[in-house]
Amino acid sequence: MNNYRATLSGLVSSLLCLFLFQSASAQEQLTVLQGARLILGDGSVLEQTDLAIQNGAIVSVGNVNAAGAEIIDLRGKTVLPALIDAHAHLGYEAATGWGAENYSVENLIDNLQRYAYYGFAAVFSAGSDPAPVAQALQADFDNGDYLGARMLFAAGMAPPGQGPNNQFLTEALAVENQYDTQILYGLEDAATAQATVAQLANDDVHFLKLWVDDRGGTQRKLTPAIYRAVATTADQYDMRVFVHQQNADDMADLINAGVHGFLHGRLGDDFGLPLARQLADANVFVVPNLGLAELRRQAIGDDAFLQQTMTSVAAAQLGSEVATRQADFTPDASQDAALSQSLAAMLNAGADIVLGTDAGAVPGHPFGYTGHRELEIYVRLGMTPMQALVAGTSNAARHLGLDENGLLAPGYRADLLILDANPLDDIRNTQQIDRVYIGGKIIERSQLRSEWTRIQAQ
């Protein structure tokens, strides 16, 4: 409750900031990022091209009039739109561990700053947040009260008392108690579903997350009659419905019901060209979500890219000293072949693949870092680096309704990921981060890094 109140008082002071910002922003100097390779986010690239930003937005690409501007020489570097993670769970993971006790405005901001550190502009937190807290944080972001990634959130829906995996369910219910508000909305029948969606629309909630999964027989699975009622009612209010589904067999009927996206791919043998065509025809996206299974078996704590944002003690807990984590992880070849076929089917059919990680859903699946590793998996499975980057930029922005994100084009936000090496040569070059801008402001990465890697004295 203290944290919630802190945000409300932050809101009052941010109103004052808004007036200051508006008067200052009119004279903000033009900044020209000169001579970089620009990966635009739509699948195209421009070599040695200038990009001008002002007042937090991109004002021109190429043909820049640099008179009176601040010039930043970016020759040899690559600029792309900052990435977007379309499936995460913010608030539960902290430097000290994972669970409901960490859920606070301060920890949400920490998580969003980790995303910004790793070059992410926005994060969709999938059905595990109290709406009043998330909405207060969104107001903070809009007012410039914190510098980090933007948070999007959804109301969670499942049969009463069901939804996330059983470990996560316990923690989400604890956060509900902590904030005396609802995160998970139990749907008993179609009439309840209609009334609940209408109420959420009235509460200015824009996204719904459905769990359609019996969790190996331990939970009740949401019925088609109920998810139809959700999708139909959501359509009346222009809300988007994203689904955690148990398997590929559930997807065809969910698409027919009118959902907008799937947060787990369930790629593999049951996921072929007919389903890919149905997805493309209905403009429904898929988050493949492949790293969640794989990275838990890897000694990611040994990775210098992750060590940038953790203490050595915390990194060791995810490293090769842990018996279940392998330093020399080799993916299963036959499983990779099946996943590759599903991805190829989607690309051939023109279905939209969107980057998402499920970061924060389980302990030790870190924010931001996992997004870069997910891109690496896409390329291993046959996507081109450009296709992977489109999944993490314009595709994600479009399906999340982020009209000012995902492209380098005039009028878009100056949310920029600037790299020292070309990710089109090797997708792992997304990890060679030179600097990050969010809303035209530099993320102080070295300062964040020193805070996060410092061992606190007891």
φ and ψ of 343, to 5 deg? -60, -45
Q: CB of 399: closest distance to Zn ion in angstroms? A: 16
Nearer to Zn ion by C-beta: 99 or 144?
99
Contacts of 450 (CB under 8 A, 6+ apart): none
Q: CB of 290: closest distance to Zn ion in angstroms? A: 13
Binding residues for Zn ion, total number by CB under 5 A: 3
The DSSP string of 203-234 is TT--EEEEEE--TTTTSPPPPHHHHHHHHHHH
Question: Which of 363, 375, 367 lies closest to 325, judged by CA?
Answer: 363
Among the residue ranges 121-129, 308-316, 328-336, 439-447, the one whose residues contact Zn ion (CB under 5 A): 121-129
Put residue 97 in one of left, alpha, beta given phi > 0 → left and psi -120 to 50 → alpha: left
- Contact between 87 and 243 under an 8 Å Cβ cutoff? The reply is no
Nearer to Zn ion by C-beta: 359 or 388?
359
- Contact between 359 and 365 under an 8 Å Cβ cutoff? The reply is yes
Q: CB of 164: closest distance to Zn ion in angstroms? A: 7
Among the residue ranges 62-70, 234-242, 336-344, 356-364, the one whose residues contact Zn ion (CB under 5 A): 356-364
Q: CB of 361: closest distance to Zn ion in angstroms? A: 5
Q: CB of 356: closest distance to Zn ion in angstroms? A: 8
Query: Rule CB under 5 A: is residue 105 a binding residue for Zn ion?
Result: no
Convert residues 303-342 into a mask of x (bound to Zn ion by CB under 5 A) and - (unbound).
----------------------------------------
Query: Rule CB under 5 A: is residue 257 a binding residue for Zn ion?
Result: no
Q: Select from 108, 122, 126, 284 the one that contacts Zn ion (CB under 5 A).
A: 126
Query: What tokens appear for 196 in the block?
Result: 């609940």
Among the residue ranges 8-16, 122-130, 196-204, 290-298, the one whose residues contact Zn ion (CB under 5 A): 122-130
- Measure Cα distances from 372 to 283, 294, 430, 451 in Å: 25, 14, 7, 22
Q: CB of 87: closest distance to Zn ion in angstroms? A: 6
Q: Select from 93, 110, 140, 358 the one that contacts Zn ion (CB under 5 A).
A: 358
Nearer to Zn ion by C-beta: 90 or 379?
90
The helix or strand, by DSSP H or E, that contains position 59, with its residue range, turns out to be strand 57-61
Nearer to Zn ion by C-beta: 165 or 335?
165
Angle 175-209-41 from CA coordinates, rounded to 5°: 115
Among the residue ranges 71-79, 290-298, 361-369, 431-439, the one whose residues contact Zn ion (CB under 5 A): 361-369
Among the residue ranges 123-131, 132-140, 176-184, 250-258, the one whose residues contact Zn ion (CB under 5 A): 123-131
The contacts found for 63-71 with CB under 8 angstroms, 24 or more apart, are 64/32, 66/30, 66/32, 66/34, 68/29, 68/30, 69/29, 69/30, 69/31, 69/32, 70/29, 70/30, 70/31, 70/32, 71/32, 71/34
Q: What is the SS3 assignment for 122?
A: strand
Convert residues 154-173 into a mask of x (bound to Zn ion by CB under 5 A) and - (unbound).
--------------------
Q: CB of 194: closest distance to Zn ion in angstroms? A: 25
Residues 368-407 that bind Zn ion (CB under 5 A): none
Nearer to Zn ion by C-beta: 369 or 412?
369
Q: CB of 83: closest distance to Zn ion in angstroms? A: 18
- Contact between 414 and 81 under an 8 Å Cβ cutoff? The reply is no
Q: CB of 4: closest distance to Zn ion in angstroms? A: 24
Nearer to Zn ion by C-beta: 126 or 408?
126
Nearer to Zn ion by C-beta: 127 or 392?
127
Q: CB of 127: closest distance to Zn ion in angstroms? A: 7
Query: What tokens appear for 92 in the block?
Result: 């539960």
- Contact between 124 and 152 under an 8 Å Cβ cutoff? The reply is yes
Nearer to Zn ion by C-beta: 100 or 280?
100
- Its sign, for the CA torsion 80, 86, 92, 98, is negative
Query: Rule CB under 5 A: is residue 361 a binding residue for Zn ion?
Result: yes
Amino acid in position 126: A
Nearer to Zn ion by C-beta: 39 or 175?
175
The contacts found for 96-99 with CB under 8 angstroms, 24 or more apart, are 97/363, 98/362, 98/363, 98/364, 99/171, 99/174
Residues that bind Zn ion (CB under 5 A): 126, 358, 361
